[in-house]
Amino acid sequence: MKKTMKTLLVVSLALMMMFSFTACSNDETTQNPENGDQEVLTMATNAYFPPYEYYDGENIVGIDAEIAAKIAEKLGMQLEIVDIEFDSIVTGVATGKYDMGMAGMTITEDRLENVNFTDSYATGYQVVIVPEGSDITSPDDLYAEGASQVVGVQLATTGDIYASEDFGADRVQQYNSGNDAVEALKAGKVDCVIIDNEPAKYYVEANEGLTILPTEFVVEDYSICVAKENTELLEKINTALNELIEDGTVQEIIDKYIAAE
C-alpha cells in the first residue's frame, strides 16, 4: 500500500474540468412529486461511511448529506439521497441515473475517464485497522517477505485499489460497505481493514478491541462527481460549492462532525 500511496497521482484541478458541451438528458429525476415546481437533485451515495454519510434512524445524515442539502438549496432544487453500493455510484452517475455522486469519493484518474469532478471539498487518507494485539504492528508488516495476511476493503474504493495492486487479489477480500469489512475483521475473516481515516475512527470507536495503525499517507481529495455530458449541472454545483467553501459553511459542517485534533 505504502508504495502505491506514495506514487498515487494527485490529480490537478485542470484535469477535473474537462468540459464537453453536449446537451444533457437526465429526465427521470427532473420532477419532484411532492413539490410541484422544484426539480429533484438526486445524490447517489453509500451510507456506511461515517461521518460523511450514515444512517441516523431512517435518515441519511453526515458531512456529505449536509453539504449536498446546502447545494440543492442554492440551486432551488430538492435533494434526494439514494443509498447504493459504492461500486455502482460512478456508473449510475455516468449513465444519468443519478445527478451526482457524493460519497467521500476520491478523485482518481480512472474515475475521471467516466465522470467529471467538482472542486474538492474535503480530504482523507487511507489507514489500516487491526484487532488490538495483532501481529500487524505497522503497514510495513503487510509487505514483509512471505507475508500472507488478508486485507478487508470496501469494493472499488481507493483502499481496494491500493491493496489489490500491492498485495494481489488472493490477499484481498472485498465487501460492499466499510461496515461489512469491519464486521469481517471482528469475525476473524480478515486480518486488517484498509479504509479512509475518518470512517476508521468511527468504526474503531464503535467496536471494542480494534485499533488504527500509525500510517504514512498521501492526502486524497474528496469531490462530487457529475456525468460528463452534464457540464451545466457541474458548473452550477461547483459555483454553489465554492460559495459554501468561501463563506465558511463547508468548514462549519465538517467541524460539526469531526472534532479538531
Provide the binding-site residues for ligand GLN, judged by CB under 6 A: 46, 49, 86, 103-106, 124, 154, 157-158, 178, 196, 220
Q: In this complex, which beta carbon is closest to ligand GLN, that of residue 104 or of residue 152?
A: 104
Q: In this complex, which beta carbon is closest to ligand GLN, that of residue 63 or of residue 105?
A: 105
172/194 Cα distance (integer angstroms): 10
Q: What are residue 78's DSSP bridge partners? A: 40
Q: In this complex, which beta carbon is closest to ligand GLN, that of residue 77 or of residue 174?
A: 174
Segments of 133-238 assigned E as strands:
151-154, 172-175, 192-196, 210-213, 220-222, 225-227
Cell of 153: 476493503
Minimum distance, C-beta of residue 240 to ligand GLN, in the bound complex (Å): 22
Minimum distance, C-beta of residue 111 to ligand GLN, in the bound complex (Å): 8
Minimum distance, C-beta of residue 259 to ligand GLN, in the bound complex (Å): 20
Segments of 50-104 assigned E as strands:
53-56, 59-61, 78-83, 100-101
CB 72 within 8 A of CB 79: yes
Q: In this complex, which beta carbon is closest to ligand GLN, that of residue 24 or of residue 258?
A: 258
b/e 196-233 (16+ beta carbons within 10 angstroms → b): bbbbbbbbbeeeeebebbebebbebbbbbbbbbbbbeb
78/210 Cα distance (integer angstroms): 39
**126, 72, 13, 245: CA torsion to nearest 10:** -80
Q: In this complex, which beta carbon is closest to ligand GLN, that of residue 23 or of residue 169?
A: 169
Minimum distance, C-beta of residue 103 to ligand GLN, in the bound complex (Å): 4
Rounded to 5°, the CA angle 79-80-85 comes to 130
Q: In this complex, which beta carbon is closest to ligand GLN, that of residue 77 or of residue 227?
A: 227
Number of other CB atoms surrounding residue 56 within 10 Å = 10
Minimum distance, C-beta of residue 115 to ligand GLN, in the bound complex (Å): 12
Minimum distance, C-beta of residue 185 to ligand GLN, in the bound complex (Å): 15
Q: In this complex, which beta carbon is closest to ligand GLN, that of residue 38 or of residue 91?
A: 91
Minimum distance, C-beta of residue 36 to ligand GLN, in the bound complex (Å): 33
Number of other CB atoms surrounding residue 58 within 10 Å = 5
